[in-house]
């Protein structure tokens, strides 16, 4: 059974893009914008269900990053180009989520898929699908995440976990380069090159490492079936 977050809390939690002041007279979204707002609400629900571990939601593409970006972009566009007030956008999104909850009463899982599937083409057009990183890129991503967490202060549990994952992926990436014919020094250089390339992306590319399917990195760091660490 889908345990949707309260609609207002869900919308407020996901709207992160600052919006500018709009005209006092409320505006009505055109058909295209209305459809985008409907899809934004559907993605918000699906993302929350994926975070909860719902099997039906997890069968959909990952939406934690791309869905949130779509949601924020559509909300900003509704105000800046559609002439809606921020409150009007929020109220419309809350109404959309409430309507979806009502329709989901009899078969929540089927309703979730029915709401999200038709919206995926809009998502792909607005927010490109996440790139699947390879081992070396994953090692770089989690190394950067560890460095960022460590910079916050004394190394806590989160930083230690990231360090462990980064070390596992780095070792596996190095072994992979050696298996492909590189020397030990060559493998080290390839790992370092991937790390510097990712560091440059994080600093200069819009979205940075969030353009990658980071969940895939955690899968690559999982223990081998016959080993423990």
Q: Output the pLDDT for position 26.
A: 52
* Beta bridge pairs of residue 212: 131
Q: Which residue has the tokens 């995926």?
A: 120
Q: Which residues contact 126 (CB under 8 A, 6 or more apart)?
A: 70, 73
With a cut of 50, which residues of the chain have pLDDT below it? 1-9, 12-25, 228-229
Contact predicate 67/115, CB 8 Å: no
C-alpha count within 13 angstroms, C-beta hemisphere, residue 1: 3
pLDDT tens figures, 99-153? 888 888 889 899 999 999 999 999 999 988 889 999 999 999 999 999 999 998 8
* Mean pLDDT estimate for the chain: 85
Task: Give the residue from 41, 47, 76, 77 showing the smallest Cα distance to 60.
Answer: 47
Q: Output the pLDDT for position 229.
A: 47
The DSSP code for 60 is S
Q: Output the pLDDT for position 29.
A: 77
Torsion of CA 46, 49, 54, 58, to 10 degrees: 40
Max Cα–Cα distance, the chain, nearest Å: 68
The shares of helix, strand and coil residues in the chain, as percent rounded to the nearest 5, are 70, 0, 30
Q: Output the pLDDT for position 223.
A: 86
Tokens of 158: 């989160």
Q: Output the pLDDT for position 42.
A: 93
pTM for this structure?
Answer: 0.63
Q: Output the pLDDT for position 181.
A: 97
Q: Output the pLDDT for position 218.
A: 92
Q: Which residue has the tokens 């607005």?
A: 126
């Amino acid at each position: 059974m889908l345990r949707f977050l309260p609609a207002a809390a869900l919308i407020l939690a996901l709207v992160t893009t600052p919006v500018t002041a709009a005209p006092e007279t409320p505006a009505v979204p055109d058909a295209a914008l209305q459809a985008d707002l409907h899809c934004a609400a559907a993605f918000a629900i699906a993302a929350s269900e994926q975070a909860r571990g719902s099997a039906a939601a997890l069968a959909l593409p990952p939406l934690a990053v791309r869905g949130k970006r779509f949601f924020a972009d559509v909300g900003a566009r509704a105000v800046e180009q559609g002439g809606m007030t921020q409150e009007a956008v929020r109220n419309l999104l809350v109404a959309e989520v409430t309507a979806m909850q009502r329709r989901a009463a009899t078969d929540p899982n089927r309703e979730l898929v029915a709401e999200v599937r038709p919206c995926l083409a809009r998502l792909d057009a607005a927010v490109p699908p996440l790139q699947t990183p390879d081992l070396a890129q994953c090692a770089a991503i989690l190394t950067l995440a560890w460095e960022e967490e460590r910079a916050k202060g004394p190394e806590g549990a989160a930083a230690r976990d990231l360090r462990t994952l980064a070390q596992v992926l780095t070792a596996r990436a190095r072994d992979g380069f050696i298996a492909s014919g590189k020397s030990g020094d060559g493998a080290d250089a390839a790992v370092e090159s991937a790390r510097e390339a990712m560091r440059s992306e994080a600093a200069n590319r819009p979205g940075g490492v969030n353009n990658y399917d980071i969940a895939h990195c955690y899968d690559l760091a999982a223990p081998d079936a016959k080993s423990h660490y």
